[in-house]
Amino acid sequence: MQGLKIGDWIRRNGFSAIGIGLALLVIAGSLLAPVLAPAAPDAQDLDTGLTLPSFKHLLGTDQLGRDILSRVMWAGRISITITAIVLLLSLILGGSMGMLAGYLGGWTDQICMRLVDLLLSVPTFILALALIGALGLGLQNLVLALAVSSFPAYARLVRSQVLAIKHREFILAAEALGGGALYVLSRHYLPAIMGAVMVQLSLNAGTVILAIAGLSFIGLGVQPPLPEWGAMLVDARPFMQVAPHLVLAPGLAILFTVFGFNALGEALESWLDPRRHNRVN
């Protein structure tokens, strides 16, 4: 089945394409922060505190005279790095569990899915909050808490995909030809389910970024002196009346990035299933 052409999708989904472009711009600027940031994120100059955007400080400065553009870029670098690690761990843990549960069935399936049901019964943010409360503050504990709270969705998705193709002809043929479990899973199951997994990764990336920002906003995420978008928002609250630009920069960075990842998930779903695209449009 021929996939939807990129040009056709952009013409039909211009708003989503703009969102993806803005997200890519934020991500590129964040990853290149060591090269592009005009100043160190923690460099202070109290004489220039709360200045408005200017040629010297394109997004202004905060209450301590720190360059907001630099802090937004470095904060994005931290958030995106944490998100990538969380998604990788969630995919490895949840994907392995879901694949084994769907492939082996029986008691393995029952035990894995009851654990998944237990974790899914608690809202993701609340579960992450509880885990951080139990483990303590720190980037490692933040990553672990978000990975544990995110992997059940991948386990359930991968299991459902495995069950959907378990009795397809190409799977039965590979097993009849003597293919071992590892061979069949890696060479036949894995390529067949990667499309759905990629869509889930794109959608989950925005959720993880929001969780990082939310936990940092309440003081349980990224800790000072490291910059983070949610922490920048809470630091800007006392100055919203006199310096609203303190809130706009990290807020728009979160908005553009999350919206872009969601639009990317929509684009991948349309690309992999043109029939769905045609029904929507």
**Residue range 117-132, pLDDT digits in tens:** 998 888 888 888 899 9
- Mean pLDDT taken over the chain: 85
Q: Which residues contact 241 (CB under 8 A, 6 or more apart)?
A: none
DSSP state of 67: B
pLDDT at 279 over 60: no
Buried b (16+ CB within 10 A) or exposed e, 130-165: ebbeeeeeeeebbbbbbbbbbbbbbbbbbbebbeee
**241: exposed, middle or buried (Cβ count in 10 Å: 0-12, 13-18, 19+):** exposed
Residue with tokens 């059940």: 152
57-61, 77-81, 104-108, 160-164: range with highest mean pLDDT: 77-81
Which of 75, 73, 50, 23 minimizes the C-alpha distance to 246?
A: 50
Mean pLDDT of 172-185: 74
| Banded pLDDT at 277 (limits 50, 70, 90) | very low
What is the distance between the alpha carbons of residues 232 and 255, in angstroms, rounded to a whole number? 14
How far apart are alpha carbons 151 and 168 in whole angstroms?
Answer: 27
pLDDT tens-digit map of 219-245: 888 988 889 999 999 988 888 888 888
- What gap in Å lies between CA 90 and CA 76, rounded to an integer? 21
Mean pLDDT of 172-176: 76
| Per-residue pLDDT band at 6 (split at 50, 70, 90) | low
CB 155 within 8 A of CB 101: yes
- pLDDT at site 5: 66
The Cα–Cα gap between 219 and 232 comes to 11
Q: What is the pLDDT of residue 173?
A: 81
- Cross-strand pairs, 61: 67
The pTM assigned to this predicted structure is 0.86
- What domains are defined for the chain? 6-37+61-280 (1.10.3720.10)
